[in-house]
Amino acid sequence: MAGSPRVGVLALQGDVREHAALLADLGADAVRVRRPEELARVDGLVIPGGESSVIDKLSRTFGMQDPIRTAIADGMPVLGTCAGLIMLADQITDAIDGQETFGGIDAVVRRNAFGRQVESFEAELIVPAFDGAPVRAAFIRGPVVESVGPAASVLASLDDGRVVAVEQGHLIGLSFHPEITGETRFHRRFLDRVASRS
């Protein structure tokens, strides 16, 4: 579509296809991003779920770590889900030796906080920023936000109080996979940020 926002999905590892399809359904021009020159041609970026330590290593191998950090610092809107939340956190716990993040969200996130893949679950979340029905969220070896600094704000928590969605300015981080349950409101929120920056 002419005039559609051009957004990238970081295509190093993880559920890239699902995000790209959902973004396209919402009218965005969604492209896969693996190299710095591809990042330079998009107005926003989605960091998908997957394995955060692998995304970290591959981002360095492909020369993407510094360009993504610079894009975040320059105000590029970014949506991170599951491993993407870990990559957006300023600090992580239970990281493997030498693991790094892109940073940007003033929060501490714990990897694999919900256990192994067989312990995956779905839950309904009340998100005060959204009108309508609760969010149906799929947690698959998801992280949890252990603490939120003053620069970030909480978007959603589980009934037990554990924080599972945060945002900070142009950045949104989710512990879960809205692209799996067909939930579009977080991606719409991300695209609104892209549009307001264009």
Domain ranges for the chain: 6-197
Q: What is the pLDDT of residues 146-164, one digit of tens each?
A: 999 999 999 999 999 999 9
pLDDT of residue 117: 59
pLDDT of residue 115: 63
pLDDT of residue 2: 46
pLDDT at 1 over 50: no
pTM of the model: 0.94
CA angle at 97 for the pair 92 and 102, rounded to the nearest 5°? 45
Asked whether 155 and 127 are in contact (CB, 8 A), the reply is yes
pLDDT at 34 over 80: yes
Asked whether 64 and 35 are in contact (CB, 8 A), the reply is yes
Q: Is 19 a catalytic residue?
A: no
CA nearest neighbour of 157 among 171, 174, 172, 141 = 174
Pick the CATH number of 6-197 from 3.40.50.880, 3.20.20.140, 1.10.3720.10, 1.10.510.10: 3.40.50.880
From 82, 167, 170, 183, active-site residue: 82
Q: Is 179 a catalytic residue?
A: yes
In Å, what is the CA distance from 139 to each residue of 42, 117, 180? 28, 9, 10
pLDDT at 83 over 70: yes
Q: Is 177 a catalytic residue?
A: yes
> At residue 134, what are phi and psi to the nearest 5 degrees?
-60, 160
From 19, 167, 170, 177, active-site residue: 177
From 51, 167, 170, 179, active-site residue: 179
